[in-house]
């Protein structure tokens, strides 16, 4: 059969797009194509599980607008469908005077982005929320939370498929190529060909490669960065009540190592951020010739390296040294010891890098003929997923003339 729409990528953005598009157009036959055996098996399933508030994003940006509206939708969805979650709040902690100006900046961002309940707190008030944390000032962000993003992804797909018997989920179907016809496109997978009138690509770590297979003239390239986590031992979990974040360094394109209570009660510490030699590699020594060659022959990668040399070296040292990782954690919780932490999991995030080494920070969605491409959807894309999915559904109606 020929589907009306094929969505490539079964992470939470692909799932939310299916959910929103099917809800707006229940008559459409939509297929969701995912190369892994499970949904949400890469960035979605390996992130820190945080429902972000909208604190860090430039007012007016796609990130800011979609994070805030998406957060409200996500929490409502979780409540309605019994997805494990908890809007528990977080503290952002300044540990030295030099961090105070940037803390003021993200506070102002939060106010501009309608982050509810946001307030400045003193060193004593930090202790009221997190008794083991040491800081000189902070922010209390009550609308931040935690959620099971894998569970949310699966539920979105389940609901969407229940709306239309002709819609389908195809797991373990890796997209090899795309062939454009006059009125339909053929998506060539390792298990056969799927034909559809319109395509939506939500391919995350493979977004640039699939865009090029679809004929998009894309100068930028996705480069992967691995984040390693430690976990607190059962004896140390009492030292973290909910979520504890540092004030992010404005010169570094990541939020810094933080503490997150997960929905299952575990407490994670991390992630760091190191260049990965395999886009979908979660081990410290994972390696792919193709991924490494693509990244290291791209000038944008080297521009990023040279622009962040000190940070990069420090991150790599921490990746292989529990002692150095602990030292970073002790900046926020001085009482932590080597016995309090144990190695945890890892995640990989996709950065769409410009040739100048710019990390292309905002969300980026483009149109190419009968296709829509989500080219850049870094954090807070999981929090914003339902808003992104809704935006794509509206744009698909406009660009594809769906009725």
Cβ atoms of residues 15 and 157 within 8 Å: yes
More confidently predicted of 401 and 174: 174
- Domain assignment present for residue 71? The answer is no
Is residue 403 very low, low, confident or very high in pLDDT (cuts 50, 70, 90)? low
Count Cβ neighbours within 10 Å for each residue of 50-63 and write b for 16 or more, e otherwise.
bbbbbbbbeeeebb
Range of the domain at 123: 90-142
Beta strands in 354-401 (DSSP E): 364-368, 371-376
Is residue 260 very low, low, confident or very high in pLDDT (cuts 50, 70, 90)? very high
Cβ atoms of residues 363 and 63 within 8 Å: yes
Q: Do residue 116 and residue 250 come from a single domain?
A: no
Q: Do residue 240 and residue 328 come from a single domain?
A: yes
- Domain assignment present for residue 236? The answer is yes
Is residue 375 very low, low, confident or very high in pLDDT (cuts 50, 70, 90)? very high
Over 80: is that where the pLDDT of 254 sits?
no
Q: Do residue 243 and residue 345 come from a single domain?
A: yes
Task: Tell me the mean pLDDT in the region 318-335.
Answer: 95
In tens, the pLDDT along 51-92 reads: 999 999 999 999 999 999 999 999 999 999 999 999 999 999
Mean model confidence pLDDT for the chain:
96
SS3 label, residue 310:
helix
Over 70: is that where the pLDDT of 253 sits?
no
Residue where one domain finishes, among candidates 121, 142, 163: 142
Q: Do residue 323 and residue 235 come from a single domain?
A: yes
In tens, the pLDDT along 140-163 reads: 999 999 999 999 999 999 999 999
Distance CA 63, CA 135 (A): 28
SS3 label, residue 382:
coil
pLDDT of residue 143: 98
Q: Do residue 371 and residue 279 come from a single domain?
A: no
pLDDT of residue 101: 96
Q: Do residue 261 and residue 273 come from a single domain?
A: yes
pLDDT of residue 402: 82
Over 70: is that where the pLDDT of 13 sits?
yes
- Domain assignment present for residue 125? The answer is yes
Over 70: is that where the pLDDT of 189 sits?
yes
Residue 379 dihedral angles phi and psi, to the nearest 5°: -50, 135
- Domain assignment present for residue 35? The answer is yes
Task: Tell me the mean pLDDT in the region 353-368.
Answer: 92
Over 90: is that where the pLDDT of 300 sits?
yes
How many structural domains comprise the chain? Answer: 3
Q: Do residue 28 and residue 159 come from a single domain?
A: yes
- Domain assignment present for residue 330? The answer is yes
Say what angle helices 149-163 and 12-24 make with each other, to 10 degrees: 30
In tens, the pLDDT along 29-44 reads: 999 999 999 999 999 9
- Domain assignment present for residue 196? The answer is yes
Which structure tokens are listed for 34?
């995912």
CATH of the domain at 243: 3.30.9
Over 70: is that where the pLDDT of 393 sits?
yes
CATH of the domain at 11: 3.50.50.60
Residues 6 or more apart from 347 whose CB is under 8 A from it?
Answer: 43, 46, 47, 48, 226, 227, 229, 271, 282
Which structure tokens are listed for 242?
């909910």
Q: Do residue 315 and residue 283 come from a single domain?
A: yes
More confidently predicted of 361 and 34: 34
Model's pTM, two decimal places?
Answer: 0.96
Q: Give the rounded percent of residues in the chain with a pLDDT score beyond 90.
A: 92
Which structure tokens are listed for 141?
């962000």
Residues 6 or more apart from 391 whose CB is under 8 A from it?
Answer: 66, 365
- Domain assignment present for residue 73? The answer is no
- Of 41, 37, 39, the C-alpha closest to 161 is 39
Task: Tell me the mean pLDDT in the region 239-261.
Answer: 89
Residue 308 dihedral angles phi and psi, to the nearest 5°: -130, 35
Over 80: is that where the pLDDT of 377 sits?
yes
Which structure tokens are listed for 149?
């993003």
Q: Do residue 351 and residue 368 come from a single domain?
A: no
Q: Do residue 233 and residue 349 come from a single domain?
A: yes
pLDDT of residue 256: 84
- Domain assignment present for residue 205? The answer is yes
Q: Do residue 22 and residue 157 come from a single domain?
A: yes
Q: Do residue 343 and residue 282 come from a single domain?
A: yes
Task: Tell me the mean pLDDT in the region 228-241.
Answer: 97
Task: Tell me the mean pLDDT in the region 383-398.
Answer: 96
Is residue 231 very low, low, confident or very high in pLDDT (cuts 50, 70, 90)? very high
């Amino acid at each position: 059969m020929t589907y009306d729409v094929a969505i490539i990528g079964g992470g939470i953005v692909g799932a939310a797009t299916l959910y929103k598009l099917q809800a707006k157009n229940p008559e459409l036959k939509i297929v969701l194509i995912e190369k892994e055996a499970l949904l949400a098996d890469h960035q979605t399933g390996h992130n820190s599980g945080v429902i972000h508030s909208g604190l860090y994003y430039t007012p007016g940006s796609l990130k800011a607008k979609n994070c805030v509206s998406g957060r409200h939708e996500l929490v409502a969805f979780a409540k309605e469908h019994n997805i494990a979650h908890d809007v528990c709040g977080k503290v952002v902690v300044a540990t030295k005077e030099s961090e105070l100006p940037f803390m003021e900046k993200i506070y102002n961002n939060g106010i501009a982005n309608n982050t509810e309940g946001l307030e400045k707190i003193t060193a004593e008030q930090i202790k009221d929320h997190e008794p083991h944390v040491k800081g000189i000032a902070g922010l209390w962000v009550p609308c931040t939370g935690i959620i099971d993003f894998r569970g949310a992804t699966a539920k979105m797909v389940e609901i969407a498929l229940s709306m239309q018997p002709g819609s389908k989920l195809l797991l373990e179907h890796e997209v090899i190529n795309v062939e454009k016809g006059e009125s339909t496109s053929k998506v060539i997978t390792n298990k056969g060909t799927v034909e559809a009138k319109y395509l939506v690509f939500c391919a995350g770590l493979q977004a640039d490669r699939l865009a090029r297979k679809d004929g998009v003239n894309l100068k930028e390239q996705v480069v992967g960065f691995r984040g390693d986590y430690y976990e607190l031992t059962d004896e140390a979990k009492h030292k973290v009540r909910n979520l504890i974040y540092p004030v992010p360094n404005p010169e570094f394109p990541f939020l810094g190592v933080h503490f997150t209570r997960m929905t299952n009660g575990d407490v994670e510490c991390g992630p760091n951020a190191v260049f990965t030699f395999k886009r979908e590699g979660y081990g410290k020594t994972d390696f792919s010739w193709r991924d490494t060659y693509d990244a290291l022959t791209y000038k944008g990668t080297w521009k990023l390296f040279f622009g962040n040399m000190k940070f990069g070296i420090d991150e790599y040292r921490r990746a292989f040294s529990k002692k150095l990782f602990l030292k970073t954690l002790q900046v926020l919780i001085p009482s932590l010891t080597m016995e309090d932490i144990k190695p945890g999991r890892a995640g990989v995030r996709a950065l769409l890098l410009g040739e100048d080494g710019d990390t292309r920070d905002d969300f980026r969605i483009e149109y190419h003929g009968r296709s829509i491409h989500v080219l850049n959807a870094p954090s807070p894309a999981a929090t914003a997923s339902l808003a992104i999915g809704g935006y794509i559904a509206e744009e698909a109606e406009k660009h594809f003339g769906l009725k």
